[in-house]
Amino acid sequence: MTNIEKYIEEAVRWIREHQERFWAITGTTLLSFLFIALLIHHHETETSEAWMQLGGVQSQLAQGKMEDARKSLSSWETRFQRSDAASYANFIKADLAYRTSDYVQAGQIYGEVSASGQPEVVRPLALSAQVSCEEAAGRLAEAQKLAQSFLDKYPDHYLAAPMYMTQARLAELSGNAAAAVTIYDRFTLLFPQTPWSTLAKNRSQTLSKK
């Protein structure tokens, strides 16, 4: 296991232990948090031109300089696409697409990372973000399919509980109140002490009365 893999696993473990702080953080926001932390750590542990340049791209993105970030990322890819920073670069690329409302492209990139990203701990994060992209694009059926795929593959992941809530919301948006009620009820059974338990109970009761 590389130092990067160890660090990401440590970050993921910390988030899991403090997951209630992250209930409101979904999709690209959580990914940005984790990988910014990774970038800072990498700067502290070793000098890497690839990582340093990605830091510049991230800074441009944070400042809303979308076109500059796009050009810088394109230049980065020609030199460092095979480096150990490649997965993070793909996340930035997807985030750039997401922020410019190109949800289809963002979803495609996240889909690639969820299938083969390295280290493997980034894959469920990418799949979670892909669900967000598909929902934002209005592709509810695809978002539902991906949400179920996440729960099938990663039932014990710290994002599983929020994913159930996403799945229930998608069922509501799709006009399937019965399915939403089933998911909300399952959520309250599986996660009775979570911050969203009351919301799940209330939504289930409201939908059941219709």
Return the SS3 of 103.
helix
Which structure tokens are listed for 37? 């932390």
pLDDT digits (tens, 9 = 90+) for 152-169: 999 998 889 889 999 999
Task: Give the pLDDT band of residue 21 (cuts 50, 70, 90).
Answer: very low
Q: What is the mean pLDDT of residues 77-84?
A: 85
Contact in structure between 65 and 100 (CB atoms under 8 Å): no
CA gap 170, 165 in Å, rounded:
9
Which structure tokens are listed for 1? 């296991």
Asked if pLDDT for residue 151 goes beyond 90, the answer is yes
Contact in structure between 103 and 136 (CB atoms under 8 Å): yes
Q: Which domains does the chain have, with CATH numbers?
A: 3-209 (1.25.40.10)
Q: What is the mean pLDDT of residues 82-107?
A: 88
Asked if pLDDT for residue 53 goes beyond 90, the answer is no
Asked if pLDDT for residue 82 goes beyond 70, the answer is yes
Q: What is the mean pLDDT of residues 31-57?
A: 63
Taking CA atoms, 27 is separated from 77, 90, 92, 98, 133, in Å, by 24, 14, 13, 10, 8
Asked if pLDDT for residue 31 goes beyond 70, the answer is no
Contact in structure between 127 and 149 (CB atoms under 8 Å): yes
pLDDT digits (tens, 9 = 90+) for 107-144: 999 999 999 988 788 888 889 889 999 999 999 999 99
CA gap 43, 59 in Å, rounded:
14
Asked if pLDDT for residue 202 goes beyond 50, the answer is yes
Average pLDDT, the chain: 81
Q: How many residues does this entry show for the chain?
A: 210
pLDDT digits (tens, 9 = 90+) for 166-186: 999 999 999 999 999 999 999
Q: What is the mean pLDDT of residues 47-64?
A: 80
Ordered DSSP codes for 178-208:
HHHHHHHHHHHHH-TTSTTHHHHHHHHHHHH
Task: Give the pLDDT band of residue 33 (cuts 50, 70, 90).
Answer: low
